[in-house]
Amino acid sequence: MKLSIVIVNYNVKAFLQQALDSIIKATAKIEAEIFVVDNHSVDGSLDMLRKEFPQVNLIANNENLGFSKANNQAIEQVTGEFIWLLNPDTLIQEDTPEKLIAVMDSDPKIGLLGCKILNDDGSLQLACRRSFPTPWVAFTKLLGLANLFPKSKWFGRYNLTHLDPDEAYEVEAISGSCMFLRATALAEVGMLDETFFMYGEDLDWCFRFGESGWKVQYTPDTSIVHYKGESSKVAAWDTMSHFYRAMDIFAKKHFKGSTRFPLHWILRGGIFARYLVSIITKLGKNSVAFLLDAVGLLILTVFAIYIKFGTLEVLENYMVVLPVYLGTWLAVISSIGLYRTYKYSVSRAILAASLGFLINVTLTYFFKDYAFSRTVMLISYVGALLWIPSWRIFASSRRTENFELGTQKTLVIGEFTSAKDIFSKLMTNVGLGYTPVGIVGLDDSHSDDERVIGHIRDLPALVEYHHIDEVIFTSDDVELKQIFAYLPMLSKRGVNIKLVSGNLSFIVGKSVVDSLQAVQLIDMDFKYFHLGSRFLKRVEDLIIAPLMMLTVRPFQGMMVKSGKMISKEIELFDRTYRVYSTSDGRENFWSNLSLLPQVIRGKLSLVGSPLGLKDNELEVKRGIFSLESVRGGSQLSEEERYSLLNYYLHNHSGLLDLEIIIKAFLGK
């Protein structure tokens, strides 16, 4: 056997499937065997392996044995001349195995080989070649000198940032995510040290290979993508502890000689300090949204006190009640998911500001000691109503996680048949948060289909012209080598790159795996038809429609003219009404505002079934806005239009209606 590939899996089914797809393609002409050791995954990995990859040698553990022990289980059974340890969250090119074998054959002294490893955005993963964390190297890393002076031989040794990543050289260590070794060298060096549960075992192995006289080599001849840390996300805090514990074990094992004893304790102390800094940093990163709300609300409340009294000398009278009211607001914001799933939802932000205000007002009647001035509370509420949604709108415009409905403008790249299937699933699976812009073909076929907006050779121009956030490649259609070639260009433009697995069931990308399985619509509980929902929807129409009549309806004519919109007539209630669409046939916020009087009369709703959709016998009011109008409109097939309507009926709420209106207004 020429090559044995070993993968340890723990709850990363979609990434594993993608990795195995790429490995099987790349080893089609090589005598190879594949071992997968599963550390008691509970995400369906075993069923997927048995069904999709029966040729894989599977070792299924009943508990999580850790990375080293699991790898050793497979290493004991391999028969290859070369052994390749790969992480499950990696993606290899079609010629990667051949090139790694060629490098090993070129120098029999190489015992351990690593290649260039890229992050999913195309940037270099620095850990793919590095030095051992000796006291000096660790010192420069811990103090940040390595980041300040990356090109310095003195300070850049940890990740060898002073060396050209496009040149080959012997190194002290390579990344454990991709370790290509010679079986004869393994027989001399020995197995992985099982003292290391997770992390550190790769450094230890490299150290032992070097001590045994074998070369540890880095090659830029080929590259792989590593979606770093996917398995570890299942238990992030435990993973952080494992990492720093592993560094401590390594320092104690290799740097505790009699002459190094004091330095060893300095190194261990530095590792512990770095651990504490990491905990603080992690907490800070997860608390940014909380701090923005807390600080903003505090400033607004203090400002309201100043407006009311003309001085801040009375502030000490509010020192007891300020934490109560701010705490109430923050608790409401947290309870409706604005620090988790719906971080950038504008409608939920408005609801949170309003509910917090109502609860705080209620508190003044039950607890007189906590009573604010009514003027102060009202000014604070107006400020909260502006601040809580506003910073989220700004933040979402800088990111791709926009709003509850999502505005990740997306291109699908691949052969038309599979690409259109993915395009349709993205369009109708609203919860995924994608807004498909079009299909980019691999050839010029189907160019007359309105969903096809260009050829892959024009990808850079298409990304720039359409302001694309996401690019999704179909793995069976586009060669991985071709995808790798586009990584740097897309990364520079801030575009996320994702890949759909071979069975078109999952989208795999940076820190996310999205399921594309069709939504089951049988026996659904349609929230739209609940009596309470219908009543609240009517109340919402009667409040918002008159406001829109007064505030935005007068500007419709000007916006229609400036946008060069096309007028058309539609038949409703035995009468003809004039509405508008963009030049490509789509609706926008201004298209149907002339129908607002019909909303007030109760014949239409602000949000409902699309005006042009055939009667589906569901007794759904037609709306001047619809989920369809913010999901592609004219690009949708009849089946896709009804799928979106079903999604709306099933998930209906006042918040969803408000989100659709806001998204239409913002043009998201």
**Rounded mean pLDDT of 517-523?**
38
Backbone torsion region of residue 66, taken as left when φ is above 0, otherwise alpha when ψ lies between -120 and 50, otherwise beta: left
Please report the pLDDT score of residue 7 as a whole number. 95
CA-wise closest residue to 330 among 387, 386, 290: 290
Report how far residue 433's alpha carbon sits from residue 365's, in angstroms, rounded to the nearest whole number.
42
The closest alpha carbon to 22, from 175, 228, 226, belongs to 226
pLDDT over threshold 70, residue 634: no
User: Pick from 397, 425, 458: which residue ends a domain?
Assistant: 397
Confidence (pLDDT) at 633: 58
Same domain, yes or no: 89 and 218? yes
CB atoms within 10 A of CB 348: 24
517 has a pLDDT exceeding 70: no
535 with 642, same domain?
yes
| SS3 assignment, position 129 | strand
Give me the pLDDT at residue 489, please.
79
DSSP states of 236-271 as a string?
HHHHHHHHHHHHHHHHHHHS-STTTHHHHHHHHHHH
CA 463 distance to own-chain centroid: 19
- Is 504 a residue whose pLDDT tops 50? no
- Among 171-185, 540-554, 586-600, 633-647, whose mean pLDDT is lowest? 633-647
Q: What is the CATH number of the domain that holds 189?
A: 3.90.550.10
Q: Where residue 461 sits, what CATH number does that domain have?
A: 3.40.50.720
In a domain, 536, yes or no: yes
Measured distance CA(520)–CA(221) in Å, rounded = 47
Which of 397, 419, 444 marks a domain boundary?
397
C-alpha distances in Å from residue 539, one per residue of 226, 531, 533: 51, 13, 10
At residue 490 the predicted structure's pLDDT band, cuts being 50, 70 and 90, is confident
pLDDT confidence of 258, banded at 50, 70, 90?
very low
Confidence check: pLDDT of 406 > 60: no
Q: What is the pLDDT of residue 49?
A: 93
For 569-605, b/e burial (b = at least 16 CB within 10 A) is eeeeeeeebebbbbeeeebbbbbbbbbbebbeeeebb
Quick: pLDDT tens for 127-158.
788 877 666 666 666 556 666 677 777 776 76
Residue 514 token pair? 């999205």
Whether 272 maps to a domain, the answer reads: no
Residue 142 inside a domain? The answer is yes
Please give, one letter per residue, the 3-state secondary structure of 177-223: CEEEEEHHHHHHHCCCCCCCCCCCHHHHHHHHHHHCCCEEEEEEEEE
Report if pTM > 0.75: no
Tell whether 380 and 444 lie within a shared domain.
no
pLDDT, tens digit, for every residue of 422-481? 888 887 776 667 788 889 988 877 777 888 888 888 888 898 888 888 888 886 667 777
- Please provide the DSSP assignment of 516-581 as one string: -PPPP-TT---GGGSHHHHHHHHHHHHHHHHHHHHHTGGGHHHHHHHTTPEEEEEEETTEEEEEEE
Residue 503 lies in a domain: yes
Collapsing DSSP states into helix, strand and coil, what is residue 123? coil
pLDDT for 252 equals 57
Span 201-222, pLDDT tens digits = 888 888 889 889 999 999 999 9
Clarify whether residues 341 and 418 are in a common domain. Answer: no
Residue 54, Cα to own-chain centre: how many angstroms?
31
510 and 533 assigned to the same domain? no
**Whether 65 and 102 share a structural domain:** yes
CA distance linking residue 295 with residue 166, whole number of Å = 47
Judge whether 429 and 408 are in contact, CB under 8 Å. Answer: no
Give the domain range for residue 572: 527-666
The string of pLDDT tens digits covering residues 299-348 is 888 888 888 888 777 777 667 677 878 888 888 888 877 876 677 777 78
Q: Is residue 266 part of a domain?
A: no
At 472 the pLDDT is: 87
Above 50 in pLDDT, residue 523? no
Residues 451 and 531 in one domain: no
DSSP assignments along 456-471, one per residue: GGGHHHHHHHHT-SEE
Asked, for residue 201, whether it belongs to a domain, the answer is yes
For residue 63, the 8-state DSSP code is S
92 and 206 housed in the same domain: yes
Q: Which of 229, 233, 119, 121 is nearest to 470 (CA)?
A: 121
pLDDT greater at residue 30 or residue 524: 30
β pairing state of 623-625 and 3-9: unpaired
Question: What pLDDT score was predicted for residue 97?
Answer: 95
Whether residues 354 and 421 fall in one domain: no
Residues 94 and 492: their CA atoms lie apart, in Å, by: 25
Q: Please indicate, yes or no, whether residues 223 and 327 belong to a single structural domain of this protein.
A: no
Q: Return mean pLDDT, the chain.
A: 78
What pLDDT, on a 0 to 100 scale, did the predictor assign at position 581?
A: 86
pLDDT score, position 339: 77
Q: Which residue has the higher pLDDT, 15 or 122?
A: 15
Contact 114, 218 (CB under 8 A): yes
pLDDT at 525: 54
Higher pLDDT, 35 or 13: 35
Residue 619 has pLDDT above 80, yes or no: no
Query: What are the residues whose beta carbons fall under 8 Å from the beta carbon of 319, sequence distance 6 or more?
Result: none
Statement: residue 526 has pLDDT above 70: no
- Checking if the pLDDT of 372 tops 70, the result is no
More confident residue, 144 or 402: 144
Decide which of 223, 247, 271 is a domain's last residue.
247
Instruction: Please give the DSSP secondary-structure letter assigned to residue 368.
Output: G
The mean pLDDT value for 225-253 works out to 52
Question: Does 245 have pLDDT greater than 70?
Answer: no
Distance of CA 24 to the CA centre of its chain: 27
The answer to whether residue 252 is domain-embedded is no
Count of domains observed in the chain = 4
Q: What is the 3 state secondary structure string of 223-241?
A: EEEECCCCHHHHHHHHHHH
Would you give the DSSP letter of residue 622? B
pLDDT tens digits, 29-70:
999 999 999 998 878 889 899 999 999 999 999 988 888 899
pLDDT level of residue 642 (50, 70, 90 thresholds): confident
Asked which of 66-80, 146-160, 543-557 is least confident by mean pLDDT, the reply is 146-160
The answer to whether residue 522 is domain-embedded is: no
Q: Confidence class of residue 274 from pLDDT cuts 50, 70 and 90?
A: low
Do 66 and 207 sit in the same domain of this protein?
yes
- 630 has a pLDDT exceeding 50: yes
Residues 378 and 414 in one domain: no
| pLDDT single digits (tens) 646-665 | 778 877 888 788 888 888 88
